[in-house]
Amino acid sequence: MIMSRSAEGILPATRFAVDAYIHFVRDRSPLEAIASSLTELFAPNLHEERISGMLEHYDFINPGVMTYFKRRLEQALRDANFALDYVKANAKTPAERQAVCNALIFKTNVLWVQLDALYHAYVEGHVPPGAFVPAAS
């Protein structure tokens, strides 16, 4: 597998979860794909916590690295509001509303897999070969 430099060091479970999410939004209906992004409703507060926590606790993180999360402070709420309006306008049947719920559950499972992988690798200390390893301070 040829990886771009930006993909080097990604945990295998994270790569698997992201690939599953990409396949989900590609293969499902637009309603389900958009509904899966409703996790963004909670993102602005989470991104603020992530930015301050990472800058405080990790020497290898600097403000420039956090650019993505800083942009998401404004973008996430706008994106989530669009998604919520779209879902409310287009999930008309009980089956469509159930599909919306299932899409959101799927997305939260994708996020949990990523968190589990991070915990296993960096808290429990089971970093898989080829994954990012922070430099010792």
Residue 32 lies in a domain: yes
Average pLDDT over residues 18-23: 96
pTM over 0.75: yes
Residue 131, in any domain of the structure: no
- 135 belongs to a structural domain: no
More confident residue, 1 or 44: 44
Q: Is residue 83 part of a domain?
A: yes
Which CATH number does the domain housing residue 64 bear? 1.20.910.10
- What pLDDT, on a 0 to 100 scale, did the predictor assign at position 4? 58
Assigned domain for 113 exists: yes
1 inside domain: no
Q: Classify residue 80: in a domain, yes or no.
A: yes
Within 8 A by CB and 6+ apart from 47, the residues are 69, 70, 72, 73, 76
In a domain, 132, yes or no: no
Count of structural domains within the chain = 1
- Residue identified by tokens 């990523």 is 114
Q: Kindly report, residue by residue over 78-123, the tens digit of the pLDDT.
A: 999 999 999 999 999 999 999 999 999 999 999 999 999 999 999 9
pLDDT in tens, 35-90: 999 998 887 778 888 889 889 988 888 888 888 888 888 888 899 999 999 999 99
Q: 């979860």: which residue's tokens?
A: 17
Angle separating helix axes 94-118 and 12-27, nearest 10 degrees: 160
Per the CB < 8 A criterion, the answer to whether 76 and 51 are in contact is: no
Range of the domain at 79: 13-123
